[in-house]
């Protein structure tokens, strides 16, 4: 998929994990660039990537409309968000479905979504801007996911970690893996160019931790400074020949043409809440949803989700 290849509204909806009608609403609001071919609306991948990069705002999930909230730096309160709003951070489709279910079971709760990465998600929870952070952050020294980062980034705050799912992280490579890329050490080869994720994302930290353990500097890797804001954009770049390799989730590899997936390790994707909020109606509703057969069935047959531990309390810190 070239950067200027025409995408349909449904293509964009699939990339952004929103309803197709919401795509048209974004056009009307002037938030997403588009053009017309005859009577049909089309988009370029660069338009979508620009929207993703700029959409660090908090959004209404799966409702066909976007809450009119502007981005705010983590050092200042988020504007136009009331004290009664319940904000969930993270970028996985599972969180959009979860948010929608919360509003059905707890209609008094206005659930909003903030599509920021794992590291910034924990920082936002520490600063009190959100109620639920999500994380898939691997610590190379302990081999553990999330717990070491929660301890470092939320000092002095009692927290509860709730398991959501496991996913497989690995390399996106062109079909047939022509350059035979299989290990982290391969990335330093001079004949390779990578496409990286943004700082603070779980995939970026996974890469950086593995490079640290190998004694390698990211700056010595071709393409290391070239960042993209989503798994889909990384896989698409590899699929269209714009890079030799990228890091991301297994699930996305099944959605992008021209890409093979090289599995590396299973990651833990988990929710983090403050212990003081654990008995609140929204958090208890989350536990009820995650432990329900209905929610499990939504994801049981989707490649890339491993839900055996869904809803388990992993740690109280």
Rounded Cα–Cα distance for residues 78 and 58 (Å): 9
Residue 40, classed as helix, strand or coil, is strand
pLDDT at 305 over 80: yes
pLDDT digits (tens, 9 = 90+) for 88-123: 998 888 998 899 899 889 888 888 988 888 999 999
Give the three-state DSSP class for 35: strand
pLDDT range class, residue 273, cuts 50, 70, 90: very high
Tokens 């099944």 correspond to what residue?
Answer: 254
Please state which of the ranges 45-59, 69-83, 176-190 shows the lowest mean pLDDT.
69-83
Please tell me the distance from the alpha carbon of residue 130 to that of residue 128, in angstroms, as a whole number.
6
Confidence of residue 63 (pLDDT cuts 50, 70, 90): very low
From residue 263, give the alpha-carbon distance in Å to each of 200, 209, 248, 249: 21, 17, 10, 9
Q: What is the pLDDT of residues 204-234, one digit of tens each?
A: 999 999 999 999 989 889 999 999 888 888 9
Put simply, whether the predicted model's pTM sits higher than 0.85 gets the answer no
């Amino acid at each position: 998929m070239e950067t200027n290849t025409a995408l349909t509204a449904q293509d964009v909806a699939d990339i952004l994990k929103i309803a197709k009608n919401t795509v048209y609403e974004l056009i009307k609001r002037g938030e997403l660039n588009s053009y017309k071919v005859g009577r049909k609306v089309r988009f370029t991948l660069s338009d979508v990537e620009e929207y993703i990069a700029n959409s660090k705002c908090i959004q209404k999930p799966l409702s066909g409309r976007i809450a009119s909230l502007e981005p705010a730096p983590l050092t200042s309160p988020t504007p136009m968000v009331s004290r009664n709003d319940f904000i969930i951070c993270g970028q996985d489709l599972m969180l959009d479905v979860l948010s929608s279910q919360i509003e059905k079971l707890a209609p008094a709760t206005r659930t909003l979504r903030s599509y920021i990465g794992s590291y910034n998600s924990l920082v936002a929870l520490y600063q009190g801007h959100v109620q639920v952070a999500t994380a898939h952050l691997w610590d190379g020294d302990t081999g553990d996911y999330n717990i070491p980062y929660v301890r470092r980034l939320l000092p002095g705050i009692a927290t509860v970690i709730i398991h959501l799912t496991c996913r497989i992280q690995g390399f996106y490579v062109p079909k047939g893996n022509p350059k035979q890329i299989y290990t982290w050490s391969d990335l330093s080869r001079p004949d390779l160019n990578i496409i990286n994720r943004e700082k603070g994302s779980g995939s970026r930290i996974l890469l950086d931790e593995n490079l640290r353990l190998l004694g390698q500097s990211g700056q010595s890797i071709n393409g290391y400074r070239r960042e993209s804001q989503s798994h889909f954009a990384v896989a698409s770049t590899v699929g269209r020949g714009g890079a030799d390799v990228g890091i991301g989730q297994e699930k996305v590899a099944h959605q992008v043409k021209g890409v093979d997936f090289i599995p590396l390790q299973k990651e833990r994707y988990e929710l983090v809440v403050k212990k003081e909020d654990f008995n609140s109606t929204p958090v208890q509703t989350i536990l009820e949803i995650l432990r329900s057969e209905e929610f499990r069935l939504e994801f049981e047959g989707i490649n890339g989700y491993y839900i055996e531990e869904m809803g388990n309390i992993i740690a109280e810190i």
